[in-house]
């Protein structure tokens, strides 16, 4: 069993409430699987490629059995050549297909930046809108179990600086399915940011196919005293922190942007107008993070609404350590969010 | 080869040559505000390959892609307008000389990152295979691109999946001023391709008949679903790497080397061949050339009189709808 699976199996089964009214419960992983299955069923132009997508494990179960159902032309293994494979997927997209290319670790995405940044993301603009690149690049970040500096990175912040690239980071099973469907339908390169620790999260997911608009955030929990924007897996930590804050008499509003680029400015402004305090929790390192961008946005557009300085809860600017002791010190969790939030609301 | 195709190849080579000479002449007026990379001396490669392509086949090129764009049938007026960065340009002034595009004839763009378009062309070939059609992709690149990982990664993948792609390396021996032998151990690029599991040939890139012959076989092989082919075409650029400069002598390329290749001018040789074999007369050639001059005049007039983009269009096309 892969080490990340060992780690993830040890996690509590976190249930996300209130995402949809149905009573059908799926894990994040199975919701993604359903998104692929239904998208491939609906459109023969959709195909999945990447290292190990057709093996028995099926990318942590998310692509399991799809080769058997749709054939090896539509679900196939690739050489370990991240950069060229990204370009190959982009080329197939230019010719009218809808590829989903998978990196089992977000760290590996760094090998593909030439094709992703210099090519796929710029192609539409550089050619005056004449050629589209409907490409989905799926990446999975991991955490814990000594993943170390090269198997744990969350570099979504770095990639917000790339014009032409859309970035989504769903945190719930409902959003995972709906945003994957949207990413596949979208006519642009979309980076689909997953976190391994979300794969086991459960929530309500309708059986029918649906999409969630890219660029629309959602309020996960209403509150009055502080806005907590949580990115990807940090949503789970933020929801836990909000429970504790409630016990201390503080009402936290949790904003889940779901799309990091272009992000929902309106939902942020509305929430900050209500609370006057902003804390952003991101899975990546602090400098140049998603949290930094949101903080800058708040400084530009919401300064008059803020009662206190913006706070960021991120990983420190160090490579990820491997020691379990250092790992514990490296990763912020619900306690950290709780403490920073308490300080912010303190009179 | 039919007479009409021979004449077509002459026309294509001469069109490339005369357009590029005109660009060279106009560049000093600073109205073409984009880096240009001229292919003068290398015309036979694009002409000999593209003569066998259908309109719906794909090509990808590099920063030095005027020749391929012209040979594949890209719209000339829109090309020149793009060089002048006008709204009417093929990329609406967003691309310039290094980023010509004409999807109507299978030109899906070109990359100014060395080796950058090799995976993209491998990807359109993958699409042809997955969609079970017989559209062929040709990727053009230079000997410099062979230094890049994308070359090796893409050739491996294309051979593995038997993709309908022809890789055409225009080996002009220089990456800017760096000679091939200062960058690679041997001078047998085509052998790399062979080792990746595809037929690889080294041919005279200044002999349009030889290029055409090998390209035809390679393209037919793709259409039959038998996989990729690699062609290393030895050729030479007459101008410097960029702009209108000459980089001969004074520590740059040796004068004797340059003179040798100019004496092997692909157009001079081919037009003499066509006359010797009775395909064309001097009179024919004069008429063809006049038609080309007229077409070029028309394109430059169109470009120079086209509107420039307005600043309020800046943010258009970042995303496709």
**How far apart, in whole angstroms, are the C-alpha atoms of residue A32 and residue A26?**
10
B319 in a structural domain: no
CB–CB contact A94 B125 (8 Å): no
Which of A128, A189, A213, A262 to mutate: most B Cβ within 10 Å?
A128
Say if A261 is an interface residue toward chain B (CB within 8 Å).
no
Q: Please state the pTM of the whole predicted model.
A: 0.96
Tokens of B156: 């491996």
Query: Distance between CA B132 and CA A134 in Å, rounded?
Result: 20
Q: Give the rounded percent of residues in chain B with a pLDDT score beyond 70.
A: 100
pLDDT for residue A4: 62
Lowest pLDDT segment from A285-289, B65-69, B244-248: B244-248
CA distance to A61, A330, B37, B272, per residue, from A144 (Å): 20, 10, 51, 72
* Spatial separation of the C-alpha atoms in residues B108 and A242, rounded to whole Å: 50
Q: Could you tell me which residues come within 8 angstroms of residue A325 by beta carbon, excluding any fewer than 6 positions away?
A: none
Q: What are the DSSP E strand ranges found in B67-195?
A: 107-110, 137-142, 165-171, 174-175, 178-179
CA distance B305 to A168: 44
Domain region containing B185: 3-307
Inter-chain contact B58–A119, Cβ cutoff 8 Å?
A: no
For A190, the closest chain B residue by CA position comes to: B319
Structure tokens at B48: 């000999």
Q: Are A59 and A102 in contact (CB under 8 A)?
A: yes
What's the CATH code of the domain at B13?
3.40.50.970
Beta bridge partners of A195: A141
Among chain A residues, the shortest Cα distance to B98 is held by A126
**Packing angle of the helix pair B282-304, B76-83 (nearest 10 deg):** 50
Nearest neighbour of B123 by CB, restricted to A81, A88, A187: A88
User: Rounded to an integer, what distance in angstroms lies between the CA atom of residue B30 and that of residue A188?
Assistant: 35
The two three-digit tokens of residue A233, written as one number = 């897996």
Q: Is B116 on the interface with A (CB under 8 A)?
A: yes
pLDDT of residue A1: 52
Q: Which residues of B touch A123 (CB under 8 A)?
A: 109
Interface contact A187, partner B, CB < 8 A: yes
- For residue B257, give the H/E element and its range: helix B255-263
Report the chain B residue with the minimal C-alpha distance to residue A78.
Answer: B157
B274-296 per-position pLDDT tens digit: 999 999 999 999 999 999 999 99
Residue B227, both tokens:
């996989």
Q: Is B315 on the interface with A (CB under 8 A)?
A: no
Identify whether B240 is part of a domain: yes
CA distance B120 to chain A (A): 4
Chain A residues with CB-CB distance to B317 below 8 A: 124-125, 128-129
Do residue B108 and residue A97 have CB atoms under 8 angstroms apart?
A: no
Catalytic residue numbers of A read 82, 151
| B88, B127 contact by CB (below 8 A) | no
CA angle A69-A74-A80, nearest 5°?
A: 120
Number of domains chain B is built from: 1
pLDDT in tens, B148-200: 999 999 999 999 999 999 999 999 999 999 999 999 998 999 999 999 999 99
Other residues' Cβ atoms within 10 Å of the Cβ of residue B197: 15
Hey, is the C-beta of B147 within 8 angstroms of any chain A C-beta? Answer: no
Residue ranges in chain A assigned as alpha helix (H): 3-9, 28-42, 58-61, 66-70, 82-94, 106-109, 113, 123-126, 156-159, 173-185, 234-247, 265-275, 290-301, 324-330, 334-345
Q: Which of A90, A94, A187 sits opposite B321 (nearest CB)?
A: A187
Neighbours of B25 (CB within 10 A): 10
Tell me the C-alpha distance between A8 and A199, whole Å: 8
Query: Taking the mean position of all CA atoms in its chain, how far away is CA B307?
Result: 28
Q: How many H-runs (helices) and E-runs (strands) does chain A carry? A: 15, 15
Domains detected in chain A: 3-204 (3.40.50.970), 218-345 (3.40.50.920)
A interface mutation test: which of B62, B112, B155, B319 has the most A CBs within 10 A?
Answer: B319
- Whole-number percent of chain B with pLDDT over 90: 97
For chain B, say whether A113 makes contact (Cβ under 8 Å): no
* Nearest by CB: A118 against B91, B116, B153: B116
User: Which residue has 């969350």 as its token pair?
Assistant: A154
Determine the longest span between alpha carbons in chain B, in angstroms.
57
Chain B CB within 8 Å of residue A81 CB: yes
* A258, A217 Cβ separation under 8 angstroms: yes
Contact A162/A117 with Cβ under 8 angstroms?
yes
Cα distance between residue A310 and residue A277, in whole Å: 7
pLDDT of residue B148: 96
Divide the 347 residues of chain A into consecutive groups of 10 and give the mean pLDDT of each group. Answer: 64 76 91 98 97 92 96 96 98 98 95 98 98 98 90 96 98 97 98 96 95 97 98 97 98 98 98 98 97 98 97 98 95 97 92
Confidence at residue A7, expressed as pLDDT on a 0 to 100 scale: 66
Between strands B165-171 and B137-142, the pairing is parallel
Any domain includes B183 = yes
Burial A51-65 (b: 16+ CB within 10 A, else e): bbbbeeebbbebbbe
Residue A326 neighbours by CB under 8 Å, 6+ apart = none
Angle made by CA atoms A46, A51, A56, in degrees to the nearest 5: 90
Q: Which of A112, A113, A114, A130 to mutate to test the interface with B (most CBs of B within 10 A)?
A: A130
């Amino acid at each position: 069993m892969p080490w990340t699976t060992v780690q993830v199996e040890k996690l509590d089964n976190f249930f996300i409430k209130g995402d949809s009214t149905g009573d059908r419960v799926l894990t994040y992983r199975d919701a993604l699987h359903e998104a692929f299955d239904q998208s491939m069923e609906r459109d023969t132009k959709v195909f999945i490629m990447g290292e190990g997508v057709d093996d028995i494990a099926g990318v942590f179960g998310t692509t399991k059995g799809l080769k058997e159902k749709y054939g090896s032309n539509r679900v196939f293994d690739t050489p370990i050549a991240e950069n060229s494979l990204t370009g190959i997927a982009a080329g197939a997209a230019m010719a009218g297909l809808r590829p989903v290319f998978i990196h089992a670790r977000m760290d590996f995405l760094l090998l593909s930046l030439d094709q992703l940044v210099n090519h796929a993301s710029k192609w539409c603009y550089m050619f005056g809108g004449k050629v589209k690149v409907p490409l989905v690049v799926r990446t999975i970040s991991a955490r814990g179990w000594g993943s170390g500096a090269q198997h744990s990175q969350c570099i979504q912040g770095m990639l917000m600086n790339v014009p032409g690239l859309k970035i989504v980071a769903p945190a719930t099973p409902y959003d995972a399915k709906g945003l994957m469907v949207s990413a596949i339908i979208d006519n642009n390169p979309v980076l689909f940011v997953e976190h391994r620790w979300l794969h086991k999260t459960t929530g309500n997911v309708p059986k029918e196919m649906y999409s969630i608009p890219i660029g629309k955030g959602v309020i996960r929990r209403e509150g009055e005293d502080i806005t907590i924007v949580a990115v990807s897996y940090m949503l789970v930590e933020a929801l836990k922190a909000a429970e504790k804050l409630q016990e201390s008499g503080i009402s936290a509003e949790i904003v889940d942007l779901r799309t990091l680029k272009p992000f929902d400015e309106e939902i942020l402004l509305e929430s900050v107008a209500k609370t006057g305090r902003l804390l952003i929790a991101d899975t990546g390192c602090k400098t140049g993070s998603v949290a930094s961008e949101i903080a800058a946005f708040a400084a530009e557009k919401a300064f008059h609404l803020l009662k206190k300085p913006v706070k960021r809860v991120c990983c420190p600017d160090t490579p990820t350590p491997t020691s379990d002791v250092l790992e514990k010190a490296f990763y912020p969790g619900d306690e950290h969010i709780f403490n920073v939030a308490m300080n912010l609301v303190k009179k | 080869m039919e007479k009409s195709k021979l004449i077509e190849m002459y026309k294509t080579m001469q069109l490339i040559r005369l357009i590029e000479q005109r660009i060279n002449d106009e560049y000093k007026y600073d109205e073409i505000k984009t880096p240009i990379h001229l292919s003068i001396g290398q015309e036979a490669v694009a002409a000999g390959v593209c003569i066998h392509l259908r309109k719906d086949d794909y090509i990808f090129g590099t920063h030095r892609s005027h020749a391929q764009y012209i040979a594949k049938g890209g719209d000339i007026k829109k090309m020149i307008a793009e060089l002048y960065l006008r709204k009417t340009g093929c990329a609406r002034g967003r691309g310039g000389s290094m980023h010509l595009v004409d999807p109507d004839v299978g030109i899906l763009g070109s990359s100014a990152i060395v080796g950058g378009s090799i995976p993209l062309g491998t990807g359109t070939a993958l699409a042809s295979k997955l969609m079970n059609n017989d559209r062929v992709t040709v990727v053009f690149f230079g000997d410099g691109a062979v230094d890049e990982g994308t070359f090796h990664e893409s050739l491996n993948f294309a051979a593995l999946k038997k993709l309908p792609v022809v890789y055409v390396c225009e080996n002009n021996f220089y990456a800017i001023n760096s000679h091939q032998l200062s960058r690679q151990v041997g001078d047998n690029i085509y052998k790399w391709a062979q080792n990746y599991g595809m037929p690889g040939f080294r041919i005279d890139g200044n002999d349009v008949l030889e290029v055409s012959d090998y390209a035809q076989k390679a393209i037919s092989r793709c259409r039959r679903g038998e996989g990729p082919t690699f062609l290393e075409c030895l050729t030479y650029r007459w101008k410097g790497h960029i702009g209108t400069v000459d980089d001969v002598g004074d520590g740059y390329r040796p004068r004797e080397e340059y003179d040798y290749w100019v004496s092997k001018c692909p157009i001079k040789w081919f037009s003499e061949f066509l006359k010797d074999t009775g395909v064309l007369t001097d009179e024919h050639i004069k008429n063809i050339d006049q038609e080309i001059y007229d077409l070029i005049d028309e394109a430059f007039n169109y470009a120079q009189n086209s509107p420039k983009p307005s600043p309020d269009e800046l943010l258009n096309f970042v995303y496709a709808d």
